[in-house]
């Protein structure tokens, strides 16, 4: 684990990071946790609508890299030097995006609060007092919840699920070689399809309070 990776804020502020599989209700859980603990809430960089729009644009353009915040250039269909230059441009765009994400997360950590997505568990690893939470759940129930929360039909939620889960994992792997599906960087892995919203919030709040006391 790296040093300078996640602590209870510059002046002892409390930090909770969260990551979810699609449809686990992270925003609802995080909003309630932040309210319970009196913490600011720092949202995800990409919403479900953003992910869907970027994926559709990528499919229409026939290129893999456009989803990286529009920074990755379209690969040339011509081989040789143009392909090499496109790959160099993609590598630079990835590095720039990684620096931006890292800077954002560290700024949020200095302020304290609940940080959603943004590879927070990886980037803030090792700072005393920080709690890293991963939300999981049964696939069918996640899809049904996502449809209800987003006000979309179940068929659309079913289509979104693999796209969004793959997008968020691929982005983490591409930027930081971090696989958010593995549990190594999380303190608490919570199945939100087994507990009510109130129970999920209570469990996270209790864990956060214990982490803060032990820091």
**Diameter of the chain by CA atoms?**
59
Name all domains of the chain by residue range, CATH numbers in brackets.
15-214 (3.40.50.300)
Q: State the pLDDT at residue 51.
A: 73
Predicted model pTM: 0.78
For the residues of 17-80, what is the DSSP string, one character each? EEEE-TTS-HHHHHHHHHHHHT--EE--SS-HHHHHHHHHHHHHHT-SGGGTTT-SPPPPSS-T
Q: What is the DSSP letter of 16?
A: E
Burial state string for 141-161 with b = 16 or more CB within 10 A and e = fewer than 16: ebbbbbbeeeebeeeebbebb
Spell out, as residue ranges, where the chain has pLDDT lower than 70. Answer: 1-12, 52-92, 215
Q: State the pLDDT at residue 130.
A: 94
Q: State the pLDDT at residue 92.
A: 62
Q: State the pLDDT at residue 46.
A: 73
Q: State the pLDDT at residue 211.
A: 86
Per the CB < 8 A criterion, the answer to whether 24 and 135 are in contact is yes
């Amino acid at each position: 684990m790296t040093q300078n990776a996640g602590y209870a804020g510059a002046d002892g502020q409390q930090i909770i990071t969260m990551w979810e599989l699609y449809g686990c209700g992270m925003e609802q859980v995080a909003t309630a946790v932040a309210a319970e603990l009196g913490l600011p809430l720092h949202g995800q960089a990409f919403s479900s609508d953003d992910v869907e729009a970027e994926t559709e644009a990528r499919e229409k353009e026939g290129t893999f890299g456009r989803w990286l915040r529009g920074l990755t250039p379209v690969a040339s269909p011509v081989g040789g030097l143009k392909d090499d230059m496109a790959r160099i441009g993609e590598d630079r765009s990835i590095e720039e995006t990684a620096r931006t994400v890292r800077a954002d997360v560290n700024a949020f950590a200095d302020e304290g609060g609940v940080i959603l997505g943004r590879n927070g568990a990886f980037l803030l690893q090792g700072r005393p007092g920080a709690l890293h939470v991963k939300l999981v759940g049964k696939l069918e129930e996640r899809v049904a919840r996502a449809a209800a929360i987003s006000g979309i039909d179940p068929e659309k939620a079913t289509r979104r699920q693999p796209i969004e889960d793959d997008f968020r994992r691929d982005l983490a792997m591409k930027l930081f070689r971090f696989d958010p599906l593995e549990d190594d960087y999380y303190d608490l892995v919570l199945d939100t399809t087994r507990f009510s919203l109130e129970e999920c919030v209570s469990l996270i709040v209790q864990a956060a309070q214990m982490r803060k006391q032990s820091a």
